[in-house]
Structure 1
């Protein structure tokens, strides 16, 4: 049975509630809806995890969780009018000629639409379960990390980030592995001198260039997760150095974006073998890998039942809160409505039909996993 009007209204309400600077109001919308529409125990901590709700016996509810986040990145100027967020429903024509109703607005794809679908599925699932919508995912998993510190460790979690149109158009897949991100800075130090006498100094840019070449030649790790192969990447993304056209530079630094896979990292520390070069990790968002084929197949079976197309187990190129949860011992997959290229864009949107599909996937998956022996 379709729940599209209810899901559309709830998604519209969430998207219209600003949460790029402060998630409190959006968290309150979620918590109030759960109070009004479920008999769950609901906690809203706007300075901590965000919103966490449990339905049924607490131990049984800890078996499986539906997880999302309600913070968003700052809206584009076109997504704001008269100090209000623009939320617009309109029909678009897809490449195959199909007409598809979509909801446009900041956070519709990443990921308030999927949060709304998870809320409705949480209410209607015929099993004890947990729902969580964290704050601060866009700022390095602030809410998820706080929840974990407070003991949030469900056995299984379905993180409602995007997995639609990954294996093929028109299909919502199940992600069993995603990359993490390690951002780091390599700094080269030298000795300043007048550029007319370069031998009197040590050129930091030359040392940095040597380090760049080393990074460029590094082998990147691969991982295989439930038959899905994923490769890491390493890229130099910014460089800065020098103080004047006639000065031998005493400092030069560059940033490295590394997309990590489970189990191994690129050996970036090797740059420190170069004289005057140091390496500092600035951010380390963990990858996720699901090693439980029974869980993955249960969610995949729910995805098969919820759509006409044939979903697959796939990988995802960027980090989510599933990485933090997996690191704390929760077995995770990712499944959601957002499509590649939708998140964080000025034309961000989500398919209303896919939100309805995701609600069915979440509900069916929760009921299957809750029945595990």
Structure 2
């Protein structure tokens, strides 16, 4: 059994959907046992480590997370551990793709690289629930110049090919609330129908232009859509309130003009979640990361755009130049058959180590 496979299996087997402590303990213990790095466990539960260097220049950090979404019943053993199984050069189990496989590859690259400049490693908590760990780390002084976030970037340019994402979309979730005045439905003119006001707001959202941006020659297109609507209390009562849920996929530097909805009578707007997009701010990092990937897989790999928000958004928002590069393929994470390719994991470890050097 290879060291990479064994470490991935060890990390995947530890449940971390309700409590990340045990998974963080395993990562911290491994770093202290296998490296001479300065290892730190912060108040949020993040595991962070640095290898110092006598040379100046951009510092690089490998960044992952060790929390996972809740498993399917088939992914849990009778004693509560997570099932890990190998078939056809793939490891199956909750967290194999998102993202303990990448964390294992990063740990080994962090240990084995011969860097000329400061090299860091971080595994965050709370990525799956809004990035609490990343937000804490950046307020607690985690500020590498460059970061490689190990979320999935495989299979975008071609099946099985490891790519480098230089941008990803963010997500803003909003609630639009229409206020009206209730009345008996037999006398609708005596009230103010909140559903009608909400319908006007839906039309306004439908007419909004989705934002777009260019990042290092790659086009990023956002979207905005109404996804839920709820209002009314009874068949014979004019509704005095109606709420609309809006899902917006944001792009670097742009947002849809949802504030226009507040100009409509009786409408208010609340932002429930705002996960920032990411744009790589260093063409040197983007180019060097792609060179490392191409060296690891015989010339294949491209700069791509990732549709999903990651912790790279929080780091980029704090001024860290980021790329996303990891083994998960589109549609693989969070599924009952989640898995990761062992051959791509090996390429990831190789690429990470090349970039660190």
User: Which residue in 2 is equivalent to 1:97?
Assistant: none
1:18 partnered with 2:15: yes
Q: Separation in 1 of the partners of 2:3 and 2:333?
A: 23
Question: Is it true that 1:64 corresponds to 2:60 in the alignment?
Answer: yes
Secondary structure of residue in 2 paired with 1:157? strand
Task: Give the aligned partner of residue 182 of structure 2.
Answer: 192
Aligned partner of 1:251 among 232, 241, 249:
241
Residues 1:152 and 2:104 aligned together: no
- Alignment RMSD: 1.4
1:1-373 matches, cutoff 5 A = 5-45=2-42, 47-57=43-53, 63-91=59-87, 100-127=88-115, 128-308=118-298, 310-367=300-357
**Cα distance per residue 1:68-120 (max 9 Å; x no partner):** 000011111221231423423332xxxxxxxx411111111000000000000
1:339–1:245 Cα change, 3 Å: same
SS of structure 1 residue aligned to 2:2: helix
Give the TM-score of the pair, scaled to structure 2. 0.97
Runs of 4+ aligned residues of structure 1 deviating over 3 Å after TM superposition are: 57-62
- Structure 2: gaps spanning 5 or more residues: none
- The runs of 5 or more residues in structure 1 that have no matched partner are 92-99, 368-373
Query: Cα offset for 1:62?
Result: 6.7
1:216 to partner: Cα distance: 1.0
**C-alpha distance in structure 2 between counterparts of 1:58 and 1:260, whole Å:** 40
| TM-score, scaled to structure 1 | 0.93
Is the CA contact 2:15–2:82 (under 8 Å) kept in the aligned structure 1? no
Question: Which deviates further from its counterpart, 49-58 or 281-290?
Answer: 49-58
Size of the aligned set, in residue pairs, is 355
Map of 1:94 onto structure 2: none
**Alpha-carbon distance change, 167 to 218 in structure 1, aligned in 2, over 3 angstroms:** same
Report the CA distance shift for 1:58/1:267 in structure 2 as closer, same or farther (over 3 A): farther
Q: Deviations over 1:169-207 (max 9, x none)?
A: 120000000001101100001010111111111100010
The separation in 2 between residues aligned to 1:225 and 1:191, in whole angstroms, is: 47
